[in-house]
C-alpha cells in the first residue's frame, strides 16, 4: 500500500474529520467498542479483523460473538439460568402481569432480569412470584441463586436446600452448584466439596470442575486439582462455541490456577 493511500486513510481519523462527520464518529466508536471487547475476551483474531475490516468486521463480531456471549463483565457470565431475555419479551411479560398477575409471569420476568445481571429487579420479581405461589420450586431455587449472586449466602442456602429436597437434580444441576457456592461463601468447605462431587457425578460443568479444583488446591490436594483442571481444559475444546464463550471466565481461572500448581 502506497504512502499516499495510507496518508489518506489515516487522514480520515483526525479529530477535525471525526467531529465534523457524525457517521464516521459513530462507526469509529462502534469499532473501538467491539475491538476492545474482543481483546478483553482474548479473541485476538477477531480483534485483527475488526482493526482491518473497518466497520463490517465489527458488525459481524457484534452478532456472532457479542450478542451470544453478552458484554464482558456484564450479566452473569458463567452462571446460567434457563432462557434469556430481550426488551420485547420484558414488555410482553409486564403487560401480562398488568392484566393477569400470574405467578409464572413474575417468575419469567425475574429470570430475564437475572440473565441480564439486574439482580435487584430479579429478586423483587421472584418475591412477587412467591407471594402468589409459595410452593413453586423454580421460584424458590432461582431466588436462592439470585441471593447467592448478591453474596447473601446465609439467605440463599435454605432456599436452595428446600428446592433440592424436593428435586435433587433441579435445573440440571445448576441449583446444586449454587448451593455449593453458598456453602463455600459460608466457609463450609467440607459440605461444598461433597456438593461439587455430586454435581460432577451427573454433569460435566466447567463451573463445577474449576471450583472443586480450587478447593482441592487450597486443601493441599494438588495432584487431584491438576487432574480436574486438565480435564476441564481438554473438554473445552469439544463444547459448542456458544458454551465455550460462556465458559471463558472458568477457563481463565483454570489456566491461572494450573500455572501455580
Segments making up each domain of the chain, as ranges: 3-69, 76-199, 204-261
CA neighbor of 82 nearest in space, from 202, 170, 6, 161 = 170
Angle between helices 206-218 and 222-236 (to 10 degrees): 160
Indicate if the pLDDT at residue 174 is higher than 50: yes
pLDDT range class, residue 5, cuts 50, 70, 90: very low
Q: What is the pLDDT of residue 4?
A: 43
* H helix runs in the chain, sequence order: 3-11, 15-20, 22-40, 44-53, 56-61, 67-69, 87-99, 103-116, 119-132, 137-149, 153-166, 174-185, 189-202, 206-218, 222-236, 241-246, 248-260
Q: What is the pLDDT of residue 67?
A: 60
Q: What is the pLDDT of residue 44?
A: 76
The set of cell numbers assigned to 59 is 458488525
Beta-sheet strands, E only, within the chain? none
Residue the block writes with cell 473497518 = 54
Question: What values do phi and psi take at 23, rounded to 5?
Answer: -65, -45
Cα end-to-end span (Å), the chain: 48
Indicate if the pLDDT at residue 198 is higher than 80: yes
Mean residue pLDDT of the chain comes to: 82
Q: What is the pLDDT of residue 14?
A: 53
Task: Give the H/E segment covering residue 126.
Answer: helix 119-132
Instruction: Judge residue 250's burial from the number of C-beta atoms within 10 Å of its C-beta, 0-12 exposed, 13-18 middle, 19 or more buried.
Output: buried
**CATH top-level class of 76-199:** mainly alpha
Q: What is the pLDDT of residue 196?
A: 97
Q: What is the pLDDT of residues 42-92, one digit of tens each?
A: 677 777 877 777 667 788 777 776 665 555 544 455 555 554 446 667 777
Amino acid at each position: 500500500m502506497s504512502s499516499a493511500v495510507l496518508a489518506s486513510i489515516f487522514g480520515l481519523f483526525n479529530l477535525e474529520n471525526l467531529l465534523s462527520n457524525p457517521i464516521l464518529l459513530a462507526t469509529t466508536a462502534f469499532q473501538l467498542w467491539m475491538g476492545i471487547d474482543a481483546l478483553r475476551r482474548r479473541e485476538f483474531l477477531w480483534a485483527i479483523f475488526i482493526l482491518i475490516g473497518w466497520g463490517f468486521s465489527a458488525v459481524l463480531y457484534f452478532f456472532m460473538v457479542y450478542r451470544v456471549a453478552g458484554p464482558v463483565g456484564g450479566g452473569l457470565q458463567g452462571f446460567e439460568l434457563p432462557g434469556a431475555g430481550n426488551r420485547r419479551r420484558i414488555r410482553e411479560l409486564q403487560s401480562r402481569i398488568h392484566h393477569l398477575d400470574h405467578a409464572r409471569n413474575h417468575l419469567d420476568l425475574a429470570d430475564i432480569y437475572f440473565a441480564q445481571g439486574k439482580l435487584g429487579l430479579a429478586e423483587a420479581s421472584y418475591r412477587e412470584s412467591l407471594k402468589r405461589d409459595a410452593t413453586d420450586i423454580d421460584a424458590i431455587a432461582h431466588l436462592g441463586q439470585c441471593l447467592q449472586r448478591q453474596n447473601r449466602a446465609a439467605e440463599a442456602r435454605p432456599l436452595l436446600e428446600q428446592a433440592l429436597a424436593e428435586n435433587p437434580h433441579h435445573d440440571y444441576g445448576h441449583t446444586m452448584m449454587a448451593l455449593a457456592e453458598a456453602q463455600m461463601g459460608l466457609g463450609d468447605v467440607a459440605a461444598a466439596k461433597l456438593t461439587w462431587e455430586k454435581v460432577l457425578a451427573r454433569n460435566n460443568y466447567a463451573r463445577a470442575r474449576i471450583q472443586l479444583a480450587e478447593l482441592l488446591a487450597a486443601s493441599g490436594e494438588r495432584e487431584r486439582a491438576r487432574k480436574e483442571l486438565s480435564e476441564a481444559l481438554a473438554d473445552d475444546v469439544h463444547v459448542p462455541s456458544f458454551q465455550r464463550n460462556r465458559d471463558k471466565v472458568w477457563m481463565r481461572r483454570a489456566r491461572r490456577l494450573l500455572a501455580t500448581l
